[in-house]
């Protein structure tokens, strides 16, 4: 009877050990990596949005300067088309 009690207390199922190791791996290794990746992705997206806004503002300013120079009637508040590309 004593041998059975000793054996029961020492017998830990392998599935429990594997599950605990997987959970520890996820929380201490994978989750911080995913957090850093998400953080970088968020700030890269914000930077891209900011740059697009700056480009639109610059394009609007260029078109406004063209209108002032030529005294033509162009609606500068609308989105510019390819025909109004400042590089042409």
Question: What is the distance between the alpha carbons of residues 31 and 24, in angstroms, rounded to a whole number?
Answer: 10
Answer whether 0.85 is exceeded by the pTM.
Answer: no
Segments forming the whole domain that contains residue 46: 35-69
The verdict on residue 16 lying in a domain is: no
Tell me how many domains the chain contains: 1
The verdict on residue 12 lying in a domain is: no
Contact indicator for 62, 86 with CB cutoff of 8 Å: yes
Write out pLDDT tens, residues 10-57: 678 999 999 999 999 988 999 999 999 999 999 999 999 999 999 999
The verdict on residue 57 lying in a domain is: yes
Q: Give the model's confidence band at 9: pLDDT under 50 very low, under 70 low, under 90 confident, else very high.
A: low
């Amino acid at each position: 009877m004593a041998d059975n009690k000793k054996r029961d207390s020492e017998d830990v199922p392998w599935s429990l050990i594997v599950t605990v190791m997987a959970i520890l791996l996820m929380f201490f290794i994978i989750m911080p990596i995913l957090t850093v990746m998400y953080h970088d992705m968020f700030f890269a997206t914000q930077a891209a949005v900011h740059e697009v806004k700056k480009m639109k503002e610059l394009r609007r300013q260029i078109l406004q300067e063209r209108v002032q120079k030529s005294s033509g009637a162009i609606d500068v508040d609308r989105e510019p088309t390819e025909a109004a590309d400042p590089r042409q």
